[in-house]
Chain A
Amino acid sequence: SQKIEQNSEALNIQEGKTATLTCNYTNYSPAYLQWYRQDPGRGPVFLLLIRENEKEKRKERLKVTFDTTLKQSLFHITASQPADSATYLCALDTGFQKLVFGTGTRLLVSP
């Protein structure tokens, strides 16, 4: 069966450290993979998109990798700040105009 798995346990890190979140999937062949941030009571906010033929994408303190052999994406936030605390969602895009979301990982950055 098709699955998208993100670590359901919250990730607690100290300010200034690098946060690394994982997204694994099975039985999908995504054309794209996207990462979103969601704060409590709000809609998801788009962060980064990476294509199947790209290994890595960066935007300011964010970095995403995409390994189609391992069927895994890693999402990194360097020099993390308390304001980065939120739930981060990965979403697969198989090219048919609908996103398939993971359940998200909650990140808590302590001062």
Chain B
Amino acid sequence: NAGVMQNPRHLVRRRGQEARLRCSPMKGHSHVYWYRQLPEEGLKFMVYLQKENIIDESGMPKERFSAEFPKEGPSILRIQQVVRGDSAAYFCASSPSSGGVTDTQYFGPGTRLTVL
């Protein structure tokens, strides 16, 4: 059973470009979470999605950031008009179910975004 997959592993963008990060959850998992880790800081929750629904986006910056988890295909975190402060490691996690309690989240290897 393959784990959570993220691509690309490393992404370099110039200021003003768009960054698109992809996450394929573990087989059988329908819940996806995105976290951001800045250098020397802890992981910060960004967004929680289920198939075709954004459940909680309280950690997402109000502008330039968006996320989706379509019925088919991977979850996408999109950052428009990137700035240097967006440089970070972005981690995706997935879990199998909900039901009022949080299941263990399984993390991918992350995408390291560098904005020049």
* Cross-interface CB contact of B110 among A43, A49, A93, cutoff 8 Å: A43
Number of A-B residue pairs with CB-CB distance less than 8 Å in the complex they form? 65
Instruction: Check A46 against B101 for contact (C-beta < 8 Å).
Output: no
Q: Which one, A13-21, A72-80, A100-108, is touching chain B?
A: A100-108
* Chain B residues positioned under 8 Å from A45 (CB to CB): 107
Instruction: Check A96 against B56 for contact (C-beta < 8 Å).
Output: yes
Q: Which of A36, A99, A103 has the most CB of B within 10 A?
A: A99
**B55 CB–A CB distance under 8 Å:** yes
The count of chain A contact residues (Cβ–Cβ below 8 Å) is 25
Instruction: Check A46 against B106 for contact (C-beta < 8 Å).
Output: yes
Instruction: Check A98 against B48 for contact (C-beta < 8 Å).
Output: yes
* Cross-interface CB contact of B102 among A41, A42, A44, A97, cutoff 8 Å: A97
* A16, B55: Cα distance in complex, Å: 45
Hey, which bits of chain B sit against chain A, CB under 8 A?
Answer: 4, 31, 33, 35, 40-45, 48, 55-56, 58-59, 91, 93, 98, 100-102, 104-110
Hey, which bits of chain A sit against chain B, CB under 8 A?
Answer: 4, 31-32, 34, 36, 41-46, 49, 89, 91, 93, 95-104
